Amino acid sequence: MGFQEYIIYLLTALVVLYFWGANFRTSRMIEKWAKDNGLKIHTKLYIPWHWYSSACWGLHPANFRVSVKNASGEIETYWIVGGGSTWLKKEIKVKNKDGNVEKRITI
C-alpha cells in the first residue's frame, strides 16, 4: 500500500466521522426540541440528500424527516435541518410539511 492510499482511507474516515457526528448532534437536538414542545417522536428518518434551492443542493450531514405525536394524539410531520453542520452548529431549522419554516431554534 502506498502513501496515497493511506491518505484516501484517512480522508474517507474523516468524512464518515463528520457525518456521524453531525447526525448524532442533530438527533439529540431533535429529541430536546420535541421534549420542550410536549411532542413525542413517532418516527425519525435521516435523509442525507437535501434540496435547498435551485442554486444550493447536495449532501447535508444533518437532515431529518420527523413525525411526532402532539398532545391531542395527532401525527405531524416536520423537516429538520441543522445541528451539526459548520453553518448551523447549535441550531436546527424546523419546517412543517408545507415547507414553511416554523422555527429556527438555538439549543
Q: DSSP alpha helices (H): ranges in the chain?
A: 3-36
Percent of the chain with pLDDT over 90: 24
In our burial notation (b when 16+ CB lie closer than 10 A, e otherwise), range 80-93 reads bbbbbbeebeebbb
Q: What is the pLDDT of residue 24?
A: 83
pLDDT digits (tens, 9 = 90+) for 36-85: 889 999 999 887 665 554 444 555 667 888 999 998 999 999 888 876 55
What sign does the CA torsion over 20, 90, 36, 95 have? negative
Q: What is the pLDDT of residue 23?
A: 79
Q: Do 50 and 58 form a contact (C-beta atoms < 8 A)?
A: yes
**Confidence band (pLDDT; 50, 70, 90) for 104?**
low
> Between the ranges 12-16, 19-23, 48-52, 71-75, where is the mean pLDDT highest?
71-75
